[in-house]
Amino acid sequence: MMRQYELVERVLAYNPHADEALLNKAYVYAMQKHGTQKRASGDPYFAHPLEVAAILTDLKLDDASIAVALLHDTIEDTDATRAEIDQLFGSEIGSIVDGLTKIERLQLVTREEAQAENLRKLLLAISADVRVLLVKLADRLHNMRTLHFMAAAKQKRIAAETMDIYAPLAGRMGMHDMREELEDLAFKVLQPDHYQAITDRLEAMKSDFADTIATIKAELAEKLKEQGIEARVSARVKSPWSIFSKIERKQIALEQLSDMIGFRLIVPSVADCYRALGIVHTNWKVVPGRFKDYISVPKHNDYRSIHTTIVGVGRQRAELQIRTEEMHRIAEFGIAAHALYKEGATDIHKIENESKAFAWLRQTIGHLTAGSSTEDFLEYTKLELFQDQVFCFTPRGRLIALPRGATPIDLAYALHTDIGDTCVGAKINGQIVPLVTQLRSGDEVEIIRDQNHLPPSNWETIAATGKARAAIRRAVRQAAQQRAFALGEHMVSTLLEREGTSLDEAEFKQLAEALGHPGRRELLIALGEGKVAADDLDAQLLDVKGVKRRRKKVDLPAPDKAEGWFALKSTALFRFRVPGNPRSGPAARAALAELNFGTVVTVSGEGVVPGDRMVGIMQPGSGITIYPIHSEALSELYDSDVAWIDVRWDIVGREDMQHQCVVSMQAQNKPGSLAQIAAVIAACEANIHNLVMRMESPDFHKFIFHIEVRDLGQLTDVLNSLKLTAGVTAVRRGSVSEAREVSRLEWTASAQLKETA
C-alpha cells in the first residue's frame, strides 16, 4: 500500500504548488474513518481510495481531486457526514464527495428504470463539477482491476455495466487509455474464451513480428529525419476488445486480420503532421480507403490525428497515427488533459469552450431535464455513448457529426426538432433518395420539408440517434393526443347539442373533476382515447346541469332483459340498451320482446373496434348485428322496421385483445410496394389477418387488408402512417362490399384446403 509521503511526492512531481497540508489531512482522515474495514480481497479498505488517488495522479489532476479520491467513500461507508467534510476540507470538496456518494450502484442487467435514474444522478453531479466523472472513472477502473475477488455473478453484472456505461463514457470524454483498459477488463470477464484466444494470438504475433516492428520503426524515424522532422516513433498492438469488435463487425476470422500492429508518429507541429504524411505515402504503398484526417475534422471527443495504413516489411500492414505532442496528450487523457483543471477552474462554460467532449454532456443533460421518460433517457444516452461517427455537410457547408448508420431523418433532427418533424424527403449529393438511405462521410444532404407533415411512428425504427427517436416518439404522442382531443371535443359538443344545453368554464372544470380529470383538456383527451365512457359523461353532465332526463314512454322488455351481456366468439363482450327509438314499428317492438341472454350477436363485415361509436340492429328472429356508425349499410336500414339499439364495449381486463377491421388503399405497381405497406402496418404493431389485391390499372394495385388492432387509436395510427407512405394513396377504412371481398377469399381458400385434405 502506498505511503502518505509517496502520494504527496507523486502530486508534487507535476504540481509543485500543490497543497501538501490538504493531501496529508485527507490521507489521515480517510485512513482513520475506514479503520479496520476490509475489501473482498482481504486487503484494508483504505487501499482502494488510495489506489484511486494514484490513478488520478497519473492523469496529473489538481490536489482537490486527489483529496476527493481519498475521501470519496467516507460518507457512504463510514460514519463521516457531509457537514464534517465541509468543515474540515471546504464546501467545494464536500460537494464533490457528496455528489459521488449519491450515485448508487447501477444495475443494468436487472433494473433498467433504476439504472436510468441513477445515470441521471451521475450526469447531473458531473454537470456541477466534471471532477466527479474523473474520480468516478478512476474508482471504477480500480474496482475492475480487483474484480476477480468477487462472486462470478457479481463479476458479470459489474463488467456488463462497465462495458455499457463507464467505458463508453470515458471514450466520449476522450480518455482513450482508460476506456481501453476498462473494455479489456470487462471483455475478460464477459467472454473469457474469446479474450484468451485473442491475447494468445497477440503474444505470438509480438514474438513473430518483433524484427518487423523494429525495422518499420527504424525506417520511419530515418525517413522523417532525412527530411528534417524529429519524430518520436512508437509501436503498439491493438487491444483485445478492439480486435474482437472488428472481427464481429466485419464477420472475419482472427487469422484474417492483417493490421493489428499500429505505429504512432509524434511530431513537433501540425505542419509537420502533413509533411510526415507526404513522406510516408511517398516511400510506402498505401492501403486504399484507409486514410482519415481527424486534424481537419476532429472527433466528438476532441481527438485529433491523421490515420493511414501502409504495407511495410514482409507485406505486413501497419496502421499509422500522426499527431503532435498536444494532440497525443489529449488523445490519452481526454478532458483530464485540459489545463483548466490543473488550475482548479471548474466553470462548466469555460470547460465547454476548452473541450468539445463536454458539449455532449451538456446536450445530454438538456435532454434529461426536458421531461423525457426514464426509458427514453436511458436509450438516448446509450445511443449517444456508442456512436461511431460519419461527417456530413448541409448545402451551406455546415458540418454535422452523426453516428454510423444514420439517415437523413437523423440529420434533420440534428439540425432542429422542427426540421425533423416536417421532413418529407432528402437529397444526397443533389439526388433525391429514400429517407432510409444510410449516410456516408462527405455526403452533402439537403432536407425537403412540408410544414403540414408530422413524423409517422415507424420512423422510430429508422432513426439511429437518441435525439431523433425521442423527438419522433414525442411528436407521435402529441399527434395522438391532438386526435383524441378533437374526437373528445366532438363527442362533448354532440352531447350538448342533443341535450340542448352548454357548459361554461366553471361547469366544464366541475364535469372534468367529477370524472377524475384535472381540467377540460385532460377530460377531452381521455374521452377521445376511450378512457371515459359516453354513458358516464352523459350522467355526470346531467348532474352538473341539475337536469333530470324525461324519457318518452315506450313498451320495453322487463328491466332484467333490457340490458344484458352478450358474448361474441366467447371473447369480446358488448353491453347494450334499448333507447325507445321513435322509428321502431310493430316488427321492431316484437323483436325487442324476444330480447334475452340467448340472443345471437354478430358484427358486420367491416368490423368494429374499441373507440368506434356503434349501433345494434335487431330484426325479429335474426338476433343483433352490430355496425360502426359510419357503415354504409345503416343508410339502407334507416327507414326499415328494425330496432336500433345503443351498444358499447366493455373490455375491462381485455384491453390488449385484437379486433378485426378492413383497410383499403391504392399503391404504385412496383417491386417492394407490398413489403413497404406491410412494414408500415407492422411498425404500428398491427397484424395482417388477410389480404385481397387486384390490379386497377397498369400503374396501380388496390389492396384490401383485413387487419387486427387493439382500438381506434391504433387503427388511426395505421391509417395516418399509410397516408404518409410514398406511393400509397386513397387510404381509408373498408366498406361492407370490400369486407365481403376479403371474406370470399377466406371462404374460397378454406374450401380449397378442405378439398386438398
Active-site position among 58, 77, 446, 513: 77
Query: 739: part of which helix (H) or strand (E)?
Result: helix 736-756
The full length of the chain comes to 757
Alpha helices in 35-111 (DSSP H): 47-58, 63-71, 74-77, 82-89, 91-101
C-alpha grid cell, residue 285: 504503398
Closest CA to 134 of 335, 294, 300: 335
Vertex 21: Cα angle to 15 and 27 (nearest 5): 95
Active-site position among 76, 86, 112, 499: 76
Catalytic status, residue 347: no
β-strand 306-311 against 285-286: which pairing, if any?
antiparallel
Query: 603: part of which helix (H) or strand (E)?
Result: strand 601-603
Sheet arrangement for strand 572-577: 564-568, 572-577, 643-649, 614-619, 623-628, 601-603
Closest CA to 288 of 317, 261, 313, 265: 317
Give residue for cell 433525391: 432
**Contact in structure between 528 and 491 (CB atoms under 8 Å):** yes
Categorise residue 621: left if φ over 0, alpha if ψ from -120 to 50, beta otherwise: left
The rounded distance, in Å, linking the Cα atoms of 620 and 432 is 62
Amino acid at position 279, single letter: I
**What 3-state class would DSSP assign to 334?**
helix
State the greatest distance between any 2 C-alpha atoms of the chain, in Å, as a whole number.
Answer: 112
Closest CA to 735 of 655, 643, 662: 662
Give me the residues paired with residue 693 across strands: 703
The rounded distance, in Å, linking the Cα atoms of 515 and 523 is 8
Counts for the chain of helices (H) and strands (E), in that order: 33, 21
Closest CA to 422 of 373, 361, 475: 475
The rounded distance, in Å, linking the Cα atoms of 635 and 623 is 19
DSSP string, 427-492: EETTEEE-TTPPP-TT-BEEEEE-TT----GGGGGT--SHHHHHHHHHHHHHHHHHHHHHHHHHHH
Catalytic status, residue 76: yes
Closest CA to 656 of 609, 701, 691, 700: 609
448: which residues sit within 8 A by CB, 6+ positions away? Answer: 423, 424, 425, 426, 427, 432
Vertex 463: Cα angle to 429 and 302 (nearest 5): 75
The rounded distance, in Å, linking the Cα atoms of 203 and 206 is 5
**What 3-state class would DSSP assign to 554?**
coil
The rounded distance, in Å, linking the Cα atoms of 27 and 95 is 18
C-alpha grid cell, residue 629: 356508425
- Looking at residue 550, what DSSP letter applies? P
Give residue for cell 388496390: 702
Sign of CA dihedral 77, 81, 85, 86: positive
Categorise residue 379: left if φ over 0, alpha if ψ from -120 to 50, beta otherwise: alpha
C-alpha grid cell, residue 26: 485527507
The rounded distance, in Å, linking the Cα atoms of 113 and 375 is 6
Give me the residues paired with residue 390 across strands: 402
Closest CA to 501 of 509, 489, 493, 491: 493
**What 3-state class would DSSP assign to 94?**
helix
The rounded distance, in Å, linking the Cα atoms of 450 and 414 is 17
Q: Which residues are catalytic?
A: 76-77
